[in-house]
Amino acid sequence: MGLDEKIKQLEECVSKLEDDSVTIEEAMSLFEKGSQISKDCLEQLTQAKGKIYIIKKDVEQFREELTTKEMK
């Protein structure tokens, strides 16, 4: 499931939690579900950040190589 869909589910959990008619049991279940979704989102974002870091390093290395070749 994509990050956008997870965020949508998290927003739904929050919306339901804000409803005064939710029982304690439902609230606990929604909170647990929301916590897991939040954890999943953070993991996905951390992975994306790692990929971006690698790509950025590759681009920087490529630029350095081009600069070195142009100086010769």
Q: How high does pLDDT run on average in the chain?
A: 93
Please state whether the predicted TM-score (pTM) of the whole model is above 0.95: no
1-15 burial code (b ≥16 CB/10 A, e <16): eeeeebeebbeebee
Token output for 70: 């142009």
Q: Render pLDDT for 11-43 as a digit per residue (tens, 0 to 9).
A: 999 999 999 899 999 999 999 999 999 999 999
Give the total number of structural domains in the chain: 1
pLDDT score, position 65: 86
Q: Which structural domain, as residue segments, surrounds residue 30?
A: 3-71
